[in-house]
Amino acid sequence: MPDRFCRVFQAVYIYIMDTRDRVYEIVRMIPPGKVMTYGQIGKITGVHPRQVGRILHQNPDPEKIPCYRVVSSQGKLAENYAFGGLAGQRKRLAEEGAIFSGAKVDIQKCLHKGNCESENLVCYPCRTDRPE
């Protein structure tokens, strides 16, 4: 029984790492001054938007993986942004030229429409290797 458990755990671990890497790769592709939503990234990777947030909160390299460019679907910033809080996220986005409407990013003007057609990504619904 323990041997079977280890194989199952290993398969789940590999899948999670693969998902984490996909999230980070998508975030790397967001151009300066633009944002994507947790939901967009979740749709591409096949994970819940909250899981996207958890993955980004554990970002190992915020300079190369600009997680501050990810916001809610309403343009709200992350109150618990791991690298400087809400003020740090707003400052970084403003420095890149993101447009704000009050406390939110103007989604109409700043949304990066990254998807499997425009970014050479394969979104989760289009993938053939997804688990059944």
Q: Which residues are annotated as catalytic?
A: 67
Instruction: Tell me which long-range contacts 48-55 makes (C-beta under 8 A, separation of at least 24).
Output: 51/19, 52/23, 53/78, 55/19, 55/20, 55/23, 55/24
Query: What's the CA gap between 16 and 19, in Å, rounded?
Result: 5
**DSSP tag of 78:** P
> How many CB atoms are located within 10 Å of the residue 22 CB?
20
State which amino acid sits at residue 131: P
The structure tokens 């999670």 sit at 16
